[in-house]
Amino acid sequence: MREWLVAGALVELDGGLLLVQNRRHDGRVDWTPPGGVIDPGEAVLDGLAREVNEETGLSVSTWSDPVYEIRAEAPDMDWTLTVVVHRALTWSGELCVADPDGIVVDACYVATDDCHHRLAGSPQWVRDPLTAWLGERWASSRAFGYRVEGTDPCALRVSTLP
């Protein structure tokens, strides 16, 4: 079972949330907050700052405590995923897409009311917690769990875990 540790960033500016457009290896495209896989031995916030900088050109200097955490298990694809999401509190730089991995192909600030449209094609384990946070803006961290069944990215069956 492959285990992934991923961190995601909530970067807000003038009523908009920063989202990045990802082109997946099979050609699918989706929108997510910036972030990515944390390297072995790397601290979560260091890895998150690195990923945000690589994907967007922004340098985040201060982060919040975790806003939410996601745990997804996909036994049919032999992986589990843990995602820790933080808000960027202070940052500098100009928005510029230059992802060395070639996955992120666009980035923009999306009005909060329009985020659900961009997130419609994103995985449920990305879309649901982010949409909930945008609607509620809770103060303490929350946890979300998902079970992902199937192997075809276009026909996955996703259920929430208690």
Average pLDDT over residues 115-127: 96
Residue 162 pLDDT exceeds 90:
no
Of all residues in the chain, what percent carry a pLDDT higher than 90? 94
4's tokens: 């992934």
Beta strand pairing call for 2-10 and 79-92: parallel
pLDDT mean across residues, the chain: 96
CB 29 within 8 A of CB 121: yes
The predicted-structure confidence for 10-47, as pLDDT tens digits, reads as follows 999 999 999 999 999 888 999 999 999 999 999 999 99
- The confidence score (pLDDT) of residue 153 equals 86
| Domains parsed from the chain with CATH numbers | 2-161 (3.90.79.10)
The predicted-structure confidence for 140-152, as pLDDT tens digits, reads as follows 999 999 999 999 9
User: Residues near 115 by Cβ (< 8 Å), separated by ≥ 6?
Assistant: 17, 19, 130, 131, 134
Residue 137 has a CB neighbour count (10 Å cut-off) of: 9
CB 111 within 8 A of CB 93: no
What is the value of pTM for the model shown? Answer: 0.95
Q: Band of the pLDDT at 79, cuts 50, 70, 90?
A: very high
- The DSSP element (H or E) to which 124 belongs, if any, is helix 124-136
CA dist., res. 121 & res. 87, Å (int): 23
Average pLDDT over residues 45-62: 97
CA dist., res. 53 & res. 69, Å (int): 21
b/e code 8-39 from CB counts within 10 Å (16+ = b): bbbbeeeebbbbbbbeeeeeeebbbbbbbebe
